[in-house]
A and B are shown apart, each in its own frame.
Chain A
Amino acid sequence: MSSVEHDRSVLGAYALGALDPAEERAVHAHVSTCQECQRELAEFVDLRAALDQVPPEAFLDGPPDGGDLLLRNTLRRVRAEETPAPRRRGGLIAVAAAVVAAVALGGGIVIGRATAPEPATALPAGTISAEATDQTTGASMRVQVEPRAGWVWVNAFVDGVPAGEKCELVVVPREGDPLVAGSWVVSDKGAAEGLPLEGTALIPPGQVKEVRVDTLDGRTMVRVPL
């Protein structure tokens, strides 16, 4: 076969290593004598390094073989993250008032009021009040549990929990599973000045054994027996 004449259009395939061996030898023979081809080829060789960053799987299209179980599992995770399932049944109410101090997490708790007064003097009959300080964590809580028709309203004032802690207000019945009455992350202001909270729990009045502040990673900051 005669040697290849100057034909730059073959340099692409040559640089990609796609010519058959005989043609590749011929092009090689020409390139070794042609500076113009050498210059262009040098750029193409650089390009190969860039092409090598892309894995060959990048050029497969469509869904995976074998049904859509993988898709369904993925969508389940999407929905789970979209709707964080409460671990326990618990009630939350957002307070319609000027709010400060706490950043509401997914569940929507309650949030301290800018004008939160000291506990009202006229509390509903059957309201139970208690407070406690945890000597280890230094956190303290003052809590009032007000009776409602089959459930309770919980007012709490939590102090001494460091900023950044993600907390939940846990209401523990004498029988059955604890309920989460709200969750929040402690702000700087909440850490410095304490944080008023309100929540609800579907526990019959008189059946509340204790109210706790737990962190989401499972540490109890303070426990108030009732």
Chain B
Amino acid sequence: MASVAITGRRARRARQVPGEELVRSLYSEHGRSLLAYAIRLTNDRAAAEDVVQETLLRAWKHADDLRDNVGSVRGWLLTVARNIITDRARARAVRPTEVNQEIEAPAAQRDHADDVVNAMTVLGAMDRLSPDHRAVLVELYYRGRTVNETAAVLGIAPGTVKSRSYHAVRALRATLGQPGEVPR
């Protein structure tokens, strides 16, 4: 009875949803980063979780874009998350008290139209550093540790921290400062 109608639906339900594995792996690799970032920007855990869902959904829909992107996957995801947050803030801008203070503050600090590209590009360049050099840079700059603290955390000599950070910074500078990209 009405087999024409039901068959298609049943077949589709039984099939593994393509891309489900992609979403799982993105979540297990980048979920903590995305959620922490979204929580800081929204100051609202529930809203942040929704942003993470929407971000992963877009990654699933734009898997080709994600794969072909020259920067890092992490950078792509964080950028999409931030765009979602700013779009929503803009959409609710009729109620400025609720939104603008939280959202506009970080946006104003980095008010460049192209910083979207930059976040991805910078992360992509950092991915090309050796793991040792990258780790030193992350500790010193993004975790705000001193040379001595970083040396203790990574179990290396302070002099090694200094020399690695020098080489890391030079390598990044060389990658990001391709001719024509960063005019001096």
Contact = CB atoms under 8 A, between A and B. Distances in A.
A120 interface: no
A126 to B, nearest CB: 18
Contact of A89 (B5, B161, B165, B170): B5
Contacts of B56: 74, 78
Interface residues of B, number: 70
A60 B118 CA distance: 19
Interface stretch (A4-12, A163-171, A189-197, A217-225): A4-12
Nearest to B148: A20
B161 A54 contact: no
Contact of B12 (A10, A44, A83, A89): A83
A70 to B, nearest CB: 5
Nearest to B35: A64
B1 interface: yes
A18 B36 CA distance: 24
Task: Tell me the interface secondary structure of chain B in the complex.
Answer: helix
Contacts of B172: 47, 50-51
A13 interface: yes
Contact of B140 (A16, A50, A56, A202): A16
B146 A20 contact: yes
B57 to A, nearest CB: 6
Interface in A102-139: 108
B31 A78 contact: no
A140 B122 CA distance: 58
Interface in A53-79: 53-65, 68, 70-71, 73-75, 77-79
A81 B57 CA distance: 9
B28 A62 contact: yes
Given A12-B166, A62-B31, A63-B31, A18 B53 contact: no
A99 B180 CA distance: 52
Interface residues on A, range: 35 or more
Given A55-B78, A58-B142, A12 B123 contact: no
B59 to A, nearest CB: 10
Contact of B53 (A15, A19, A51, A74): A74
Q: Counting chain B CB atoms within 10 Å of each CB, which of A82, A89, A108, A151 scores highest?
A: A82
Interface of A: 8-13, 15-20, 43-44, 46-47, 50-65, 68, 70-71, 73-75, 77-79, 81-83, 86, 89-93, 108, 150-151, 200, 202
Which 4 A-B residue pairs are closest in the complex by CB-CB distance?
A91-B5, A12-B166, A12-B165, A57-B37
Given A18-B145, A53-B110, 13 more contacts: A8-B166, A16-B140, A16-B165, A18-B140, A51-B142, A53-B122, A57-B33, A57-B37, A58-B37, A61-B29, A64-B36, A89-B5, A91-B2
10 contacts: A12-B165, A13-B161, A13-B166, A46-B182, A50-B118, A56-B142, A58-B33, A65-B32, A68-B27, A83-B17
